Chains A and B, each alone.
Chain A
Amino acid sequence: EAGVTQFPSHSVIEKGQTVTLRCDPISGHDNLYWYRRVMGKEIKFLLHFVKESKQDESGMPNNRFLAERTGGTYSTLKVQPAELEDSGVYFCASSQVRSPRGLQFFGPGTRLTVL
């Protein structure tokens, strides 16, 4: 069974540009989570989807970030316009059952570098 996949693995963009990150959860997992780790800090929760619905986006840093999960399958996270402080590693995770009962499986992450 395929795990959580993320694309791209690494993205380097200029400040002010737009970047879209993609996450494909494990098939059949209704719950999808986005996290990010900025340099020197701990991994922080961004948002949670159940199927196509956003359940909690309290961790989204500002309105430059937009997450979608059309059709309840893969999810995208768009950053527009990107700022220097957005650099970091963006992780996606999925679970069959909502946590804490459901174990979250993590993808390899997308390393975003904003110059």
Chain B
Amino acid sequence: KQEVTQIPAALSVPEGENLVLNCSFTDSAIYNLQWFRQDPGKGLTSLLLIQSSQREQTSGRLNASLDKSSGRSTLYIAASQPGDSATYLCAVPNDYKLSFGAGTTVTVRA
């Protein structure tokens, strides 16, 4: 059974600081890994999808790395802004179901 863990559960940083969010999974035989963002009262927005053959994926200020052998992914957000405040979730497919971590709630202080 795939278990996904995210550390830390919450993070508060001043504006401009870089963010590092961690995700670990127990079964390394994953097809891909996805990072989502959830704003209060809103749905899940897909940020980055990393295929199992990739080591990293970048989109603007976001960079996600994947180390399948160690069961880890890291989401880096450069030069954080107050608008980055949200809950960030990682998820891996377990066949067709997605297994989610509990998320990291980020607060960026202006």
Residues of A near any B CB (own CB < 8 A): 4, 6, 9, 31, 33, 35, 40-45, 48, 55-56, 59, 91, 93, 98-101, 103-109, 111
Contact = CB atoms under 8 A, between A and B. Distances in A.
Interface residues of B, number: 25
Contacts, number: 65
Contacts of B34: 103
A43 B31 contact: no
The secondary structure that dominates the B interface is strand
B98 A35 contact: yes
A35 B101 CA distance: 13
B98 A45 contact: yes
Interface of B: 4, 31-32, 34, 36, 41-46, 49, 89, 91, 93-103
A56 B97 contact: yes
Nearest to B3: A42
Given A43-B89, A48-B96, A100-B93, A91 B43 contact: yes
A42 B100 contact: yes
B43 A42 contact: no
Given A55-B96, A101-B31, 18 more contacts: A31-B96, A33-B96, A33-B98, A35-B100, A40-B102, A42-B100, A42-B102, A43-B91, A43-B98, A44-B100, A45-B99, A100-B32, A105-B46, A106-B36, A106-B45, A108-B41, A109-B42, A109-B43
Looking at A31, A40, A99, A107, which has the most chain B CB atoms within 10 Å of its CB?
A99
A104 to B, nearest CB: 6
Given A42-B4, A107-B43, A109-B43, A99 B100 contact: no
Contact of B43 (A48, A98, A99, A108): A108
